[in-house]
A and B are shown apart, each in its own frame.
Chain A
Amino acid sequence: MEAELKEMLNDLDSLKQSLPDPSNHASIHKLQSRVEHLTKLAKSAPVRRTKVQDMSAEVVDSNPYSRLMALQRMGIVENYERIRDFSVAIVGIGGVGSVAAEMLTRCGIGRLLLYDYDKVELANMNRLFFRPEQVGMTKTDAASQTLSDINPDVVLESFTLNITTVQGFETFMSSLRNKSFCPNKEGSGVDLVLSCVDNYEARMAVNQACNELNQTWMESGVSEDAVSGHIQLLIPGETACFACAPPLVVASGVDERTLKREGVCAASLPTTMGVVAGLLVQNTLKFLLQFGHVSPYLGYNSLKDFFPTMEMRPNPQCSNAACLERQKECLLAKPAKDAAIRAKMEAEALLVPEGPLHDDNEWNISVVDDEELERTDATSSDALPEGLTRELPPADEFQKFSAAEPTTTTFDDIEELRKQLDALNA
């Protein structure tokens, strides 16, 4: 197109010179400037960048990774290029998931797995990432389109399915297990799963899959009034799983307002969703590239700009069987893990020159290790001090009750039962 326009300019020039009447020159000049404008527009038309073999730290305008590689020079990240070895699965490509996917893509993540069953709607346009011309496309297709344009180095795999159905769940599990991208990796085929879904059922499905696969994941959420959100790190067996702490609804018995999902018109803001996506991906980068402190839980209350953090231990009475299994494994592995941590700390201590921290200690102040105290506390949480009894039975009382009860066998053939229901339906 550029060559065509250039020829047109040349033609106009020769036309101008061949015309004896100067009165036409003005209009020809006008035509010329319009063609020049078109040439400029044609030059700025989208160009897809080619794939990059190695991440370079060279500071030139054309290097997409120079600013990221600078993290090494600044001493924040030891080896940024490792990011190309990592696979991250994002479940739910909505207000948070799509932005998180874009952030990871721009960071040059190795592989992204995207899961969603929804389509882009005009009602999504108050959020970031999707564009109006993508309305009607599946969210996974629309996301792959944009993301592969932004960074063709990222390997994208998209799955248009509902993970809460039996079939969708099986596909979800096998896609997480697939190790074709990095065959030498231990455990599953992905390094981290990010849950960016908007409902309780899907969170429970992600929780189930990750507990079974012993897969670390992060959960994210934005409240339906759009003014608060949270992210949470879940390491099966080590931290509370999503089923360990029952939702507020069940625990407190208050009116259920917390886990409603969009669609029945929940509010949403691009700001809150962007902030939560940013917190989520920041925690992801810290987890993968091993810098800073990875937050186990980080809340965001936008009305008061309050960011609470906390840690949640797993619930020994968790209703999820896979979680209990992971807890057992974790308990068995704990002595070895503790020893490794202690050895590391001792090794670090050796590096520091020995000697008194303070020359004089007039008041005989000493630091007492409180770790031992805490441990006895944690293990004896079931035992009560003398004289105290519990008012309510423990939560797993129901299980005992059902096990004790003999199962009645009046109709025990499933076909028989099906026929009976069909007869009633007729």
Chain B
Amino acid sequence: MEGWDPNTKSTLTQIPLLTTKAGPRDGAAWTTRLKEEYKALIAYTQMNKSNDNDWFRISAANSEGTRWTGKCWYVHNLLKYEFDLQFDIPVTYPSTAPELELPQLDGKTQKMYRGGKICLTVHFKPLWAKNSPRFGIAHALCLGLAPWLAAEVPILVDSGMIKHKDDATSTSES
């Protein structure tokens, strides 16, 4: 965890760790895991709200809890940039991390695989592997997506690849 800012570190320590090693094909054990995922997500969302650092919405898109959809946003130069967020829980979860997707940014940055999967290889995958199965979705958002947005959104905005929604509507109207 060297090289991480103290803020992220202290946030991370407050997200409850998970204990059940179970994937979507493990029946009752997966339900137990899913409960732990919810508890960690609830705790993390509450923490963000109380620290005035709310930055995502996520909820299960199916009853099995294998597909998740929502939104995430990042504030750059006092403007809020919001993106759709989606991912599947892989069959080999939690040995392998979920592949977080921002489909609206597909093709706009090199730090992304096909289909809008953000690149987590260097900054996040090793951490996930070392902490499996104690990390869950909340940890993936905190350590995977948040730093990615912080690194990529400013570059995408400055290079003109993405525009703020107010700018976009005003230019299209004129």
Contacts and interface: CB of A to CB of B under 8 A. Distances in A.
Contacts of B122: 255-257, 260
The 8 closest A-B pairs by CB, nearest first: A417-B38, A204-B92, A169-B91, A263-B113, A164-B90, A250-B129, A201-B96, A402-B19
Contacts of A164: 88, 90-92, 96, 99
A205 B38 contact: no
A421 B92 contact: no
Given A261-B113, A263-B113, A264-B119, A425 B35 contact: no
A204 B95 contact: yes
Contacts of A200: 96, 125
B152 interface: no
Interface string A234-250: 00000000010011011
A410 to B, nearest CB: 8
Given A204-B96, A421-B45, A424-B45, A264 B130 contact: no
Contact of B19 (A169, A405, A425): A405
B129 A421 contact: no
Nearest to A319: B95
Contacts of B149: none
Interface string A307-321: 000000000000110
Contact of A414 (B31, B46, B59): B31
Interface in A398-426: 399, 402, 405, 407, 411-412, 414, 417-418, 420-422, 424-425
Contact of A420 (B24, B38, B113, B125): B38
Interface residues of A, number: 43
A401 to B, nearest CB: 9
A166 B59 contact: no
A243 B60 contact: no
A85 B9 CA distance: 57
Contact of A166 (B49, B88, B99): B88
B112 to A, nearest CB: 7
Interface string B92-126: 10011001000000000011111000010110011
Instruction: Please indicate which of the listed interface residues A163, A399, A402 has the most CB atoms of chain B within 10 Å of its own CB.
Output: A402
Given A165-B88, A402-B20, 15 more contacts: A200-B96, A201-B96, A256-B121, A256-B122, A261-B121, A263-B112, A264-B119, A319-B21, A411-B35, A412-B35, A414-B38, A417-B42, A421-B42, A422-B59, A424-B45
Nearest to B90: A164
14 contacts: A164-B91, A164-B92, A204-B90, A204-B95, A253-B130, A264-B111, A264-B119, A264-B121, A402-B20, A405-B19, A417-B39, A418-B59, A421-B42, A425-B45
Contact of A424 (B21, B25, B46, B111): B46
Contacts of B60: 418
A259 interface: yes
A166 B113 contact: no
A75 to B, nearest CB: 44
Contacts of B112: 263-264
Contacts of B92: 164, 201, 204-205, 207-208
Interface in B34-76: 34-35, 38-39, 41-42, 45-46, 49, 57-60, 64, 66, 70
B89 interface: yes
B108 to A, nearest CB: 13
A333 B101 CA distance: 45
A163 B88 CA distance: 12
Given A204-B96, A208-B91, A256-B121, A425 B70 contact: yes
Contact of B49 (A208, A247, A412, A424): A424
A265 interface: yes
B126 A249 contact: yes
A118 interface: yes
A254 B25 CA distance: 32
Interface string A187-215: 00000000000001100110110000000
B28 to A, nearest CB: 11
A404 to B, nearest CB: 11
A398 to B, nearest CB: 8
A263 B60 CA distance: 28
Given A249-B125, A417-B39, A425 B59 contact: yes
A20 B111 CA distance: 76
B119 A246 contact: no
Contacts of A319: 21, 95
A263 B112 CA distance: 7
A205 B35 contact: no
Nearest to A200: B96
A195 to B, nearest CB: 13
Interface in A74-125: 118
A250 B45 contact: no
Contacts of A260: 121-122
B126 A264 contact: no
A277 to B, nearest CB: 22
Given A165-B90, A166-B66, A243-B95, A414 B34 contact: yes
Given A256-B122, A264-B113, A414-B31, A421 B41 contact: yes
Contacts of A414: 31, 34-35, 38
